[in-house]
Amino acid sequence: MQTWTVGDLRITKVLELEEAVEGGIAGGILPDARPDLIRGMAWLHPDFATAEGRLKISVHALLVRGPGFNLVVDTCAGNGKERASPLFNMLQTAFLDEFAATGCAREDVDLVLCTHLHVDHVGWNTMRVGERWVPTFPNARYLIGAAEYERSAGGQGRPDTARLMADSVQPLLDAGLVDFVETDAVIAPGVSLFPAPGHTAGQVGVLLESQGARAVITGDLMHHPCQVAHPEWSSDFDADKERSRLTRIDFVRHFAGDATLVIGTHFAGRTAGHIVQVGEAHRLD
């Protein structure tokens, strides 16, 4: 179980699943990431890509523990949920056991943040108990972007939007546990949001600052570390590819050569690193 320390903050990766997927396929996660190009980026191996040039993708939550609060950022895909994607359909994973192994009980979580409302970021908002979906973190306030909710509640988004709203968001609303937040909100001491549009219009990233140290959680402004080197590569899952491209370019320029630790929401293996410039290019070290 990986843990990073940022001043008084401790961030722990809670893994749901990790898969190797093919890039370079139209309609896929990164249609520009052909296996031959990935094989040529030696720094991606072995954490982020296979020897054959397949992209390693992780689905995980991030538990942020700070003075007086426990925060979960994104809640993966969840168990027993009907989804269009075979990768996420009717999963039965050991996520709850993985979470318990952090030493933080579900009941001790104070805040849950959804960076955006896609199936692999909201699934463990709820869990099945009998015939009902109930909040997985019963004492937490669930933070959802106001603009992001408006988009999804209006039926916009991917094919699974209606399902995820019904099984992973509406039960929270029914329980009175949701707070709608702006894309630049401060949500806890040392924890603030920043807008990261493109993948969805209302997506946010997370900035962590404590005792002069900083880390950033990407959300899906990038899906894979190869996009540090090629921020122009957009995913076919991005709602606005041009906007997502500009968001990534700004992100890489802002954090290149900086001491800020970049923690990828879908980065496999070691999951985190620093953006460094090598000649005219960038990579995650």
Q: How much is the pLDDT for 94?
A: 98
Instruction: Determine what percent of the chain falls in helix, strand and coil, rounding each to the nearest 5.
Output: 25, 30, 45
The proportion of the chain whose per-residue pLDDT surpasses 70, expressed as a percent, equals: 99
Q: How much is the pLDDT for 170?
A: 97
H or E element that contains 63: strand 55-66
**pLDDT for 101 beyond 80:** yes
**pLDDT for 134 beyond 90:** yes
DSSP 8-state secondary structure symbol assigned to residue 104: -
Distance CA 64, CA 201 (A): 25
Dig out the tokens for 215 from the structure: 């880390």
Q: How much is the pLDDT for 64?
A: 98
Global pTM?
0.96
Tens digits of residue pLDDT in 106-126: 999 999 999 999 999 999 999
Largest CA distance in the chain: 57
Mean pLDDT of the chain: 96
Q: How much is the pLDDT for 157?
A: 67
Dig out the tokens for 112 from the structure: 């849950």
Q: How much is the pLDDT for 23?
A: 94
Distance CA 84, CA 91 (A): 12
Tens digits of residue pLDDT in 26-80: 888 999 999 999 999 999 999 999 999 999 999 999 999 999 999 999 999 999 9
- Structural domain total, the chain: 1
Residue 105: C-alpha distances to residues 6, 23, 172, 231 (Å): 22, 37, 19, 38
Q: Which residue do the tokens 């199936």 mark?
A: 119
| 49 bridge partner residues | 55
Tens digits of residue pLDDT in 137-185: 999 999 999 999 998 887 666 778 999 999 999 999 999 999 999 999 9
Residue range(s) defining the domain that contains residue 25: 3-284
Check: CB of residue 181 under 8 Å from CB of residue 224: no
- CATH number of the domain residue 123 falls in: 3.60.15.10
**pLDDT for 258 beyond 80:** yes
DSSP 8-state secondary structure symbol assigned to residue 13: E
